[in-house]
Amino acid sequence: MRALFFGILLITFVSFGQDKKEKIVKFNPHFSLGASYNNFFGDNYLSKGHKNDNYGFFLKLNALQVFNFNIGGLFDKTRLKAIDTAIGGNVGSSNLNTANVYLNYNMKLNNHFSIEPEIKYGGVEVRQSGFEKNLGVQFGKLYGFGTNFNYKIDNSLTFFMNLSYNKFILNVKTTPEFENYFDNSNSFNVSLGIKL
């Protein structure tokens, strides 16, 4: 009990005894938006059964900064065209929606350029449609890592490009021999956007 008391006391002194310029955790909101492109690869349903001839869009909100680490959330939406009815049945297109949290680390190179290695984790939804009908939804998880390349115009506007790898693990109900084919997908993602 005494150790717990001293631990709480120490954390209190470290947290509140900091100079305001040296806060460990601070609210640091940034809003980003832009276009994204997923290039699926490998022997899997999203790669073999679809063609990505569209750019998606994303919204990103940075919430907290811990030292030079940024924590926030990201929503990304892409529409994929189904090209193989033998694989996907009468599906005309699939909307790929992802929502995840991310952690990145800001490394400033000079007054204008910085890079941010980033990892992310979240959920994915593949919503299939055809003949103007909703034909089903698959849910799953997303793991990703990549890097933001930032060019700061001024204190209120930054252009950036993100290059990342994403791993999709879906929960598709199918026969055991096709589980790996339908449940696992990979993509290389390129995003361009602005940070406000």
Q: Is the full-model pTM beyond 0.85?
A: no
Total of domains in the chain: 1
In a domain, 59, yes or no: yes
Give the tens place of pLDDT for each residue, 86-113. Answer: 665 556 778 899 999 999 999 999 999 9
Spatial CA neighbour of 37 closest among 9, 12, 58, 64? 58
Range of the domain at 154: 22-195
Helix H or strand E encompassing 178: none
In a domain, 110, yes or no: yes
Q: Which two tokens stand for residue 38?
A: 């997923």
Give the tens place of pLDDT for each residue, 130-167. Answer: 666 666 788 999 999 999 999 999 988 999 999 999 99
In a domain, 13, yes or no: no
Helix H or strand E encompassing 90: none
In a domain, 6, yes or no: no
State the Cα–Cα distance between residues 133 and 143, nearest whole angstrom. 30
In a domain, 125, yes or no: yes
| Pair type for strands 56-66 and 93-105 | unpaired
Within the chain, what is the greatest distance between any pair of CA atoms? 68
Please name the residues in contact with 161: beta carbons below 8 A apart, sequence gap of 6 or more.
148, 149, 190, 191, 192
State the Cα–Cα distance between residues 127 and 139, nearest whole angstrom. 9
Spatial CA neighbour of 135 closest among 175, 90, 82? 90
In a domain, 84, yes or no: yes
In a domain, 1, yes or no: no
Residue 106: which CATH number? 2.40.160.20
In a domain, 16, yes or no: no
